[in-house]
Every structure is written in C-alpha cells, then in structure tokens.
Amino acid sequence: MENKLEIKLGDKNDQKDIYSLVKELAIYEKAENEVITNLQEYIQLFEEGLFRCLLAKLDGKTVGMMVFYDAFSTWKGKMLWLEDFVVLEEYRRFGIGKKLFDKLISIAKRENYRLIKWEVLDWNDPAIQFYKKIGAVLETNWWDGKYFLE
C-alpha cells in the first residue's frame, strides 16, 4: 500500500462516514435490521459530546473508523469503551486497524485512562486473531446483559 494514510479524530462533518461504516459493520455482524439510529442522531449526539471517533483516511477516503466514549470501571477507574471498530474489507491486512488501535491507545495514555474495553463476537475469528496479535486480553467468562428501553 503506497497511498497516504491519515488517522485523525473525527468531527461533525465526519459523521456521515461514521454512520455509513456502522451500517457496514452491522451487515457484517448479520444484524443490519437492528440499526435504528440515523445520521441526524449521530450528528446531534456527537455535538453533545456523547462519543468521539477516529477515522482512517486513505487518500482522503474513509476506509476505517472507531467510535468510543468515556466509561468507568468500579475496579479500575477511568476507562474508554470502544463501541465500534471497522476497516472496510478490501483495506484489511494493510495495518490500518493496528494504526487505528495505536492511536486510540495513545489518546487513552495521554488522557490518563486505565484501560480500553470492548466486545467481540465469538464467531468473528479475524477480529479475535487481530486482538490476540496486538496483545489484548479477551475474557470469555463474562456474559453481556442488555435491557432495552424501547
């Protein structure tokens, strides 16, 4: 890959790309019909500071992203929750995901977070292998709980 790759914090104008990639991720995770948010909601909630995002731009085209936000661990303290992380399939295996993750780690260290936490589907072997390769700890003994309000 000889092109120019930029990893940057997203802004209001990037929310269209973020939303598009979130929908791509939902398709990959076989859950496309579960996406009930819309672009306007993304823009509003981003402006309210509910979440932040990182983008990977290759020659100006968004090819990957991360959505993350502040969280709290009663055992560890200040943490970041990584909600979504995706690189378009045709751009995987070029190190883009690693560069995104490295940037998130850099932000977390600079802002004095103690950990970054996320979920990965048990059938998503490429993601599991990626996380193992970068030295992440994958806990398999916890079950996620959800309570939907709508």
Residue 57 neighbours by CB under 8 Å, 6+ apart = 5, 6, 7, 8, 63
* pLDDT, average across residues 124-132: 94
**DSSP-derived pairing of the beta strands 52-58 and 5-9:** antiparallel
Asked if residue 80 lies in contact with residue 117, where contact means CB atoms within 8 angstroms, the answer is yes
Residue 104 neighbours by CB under 8 Å, 6+ apart = 54, 66, 68, 80, 82, 116
Question: Is 131 one of the annotated active-site residues of the chain?
Answer: yes
pLDDT tens, position by position, 63-84:
999 999 999 999 999 999 999 9
**DSSP-derived pairing of the beta strands 115-117 and 61-73:** unpaired
Q: Determine which one of 69, 113, 131, 147 is catalytic.
A: 131
Among the listed residues 108, 111, 104, the one whose alpha carbon sits nearest the alpha carbon of residue 64: 104
Label residue 135 exposed, middle or buried (CB < 10 Å: 0-12, 13-18, 19+). exposed
Domains of the chain: 8-133 (3.40.630.30)
Mean pLDDT of the chain: 95
Stretch among 50-59, 87-96, 118-127, 139-148 having the lowest mean pLDDT? 139-148
- pLDDT, position 2: 63
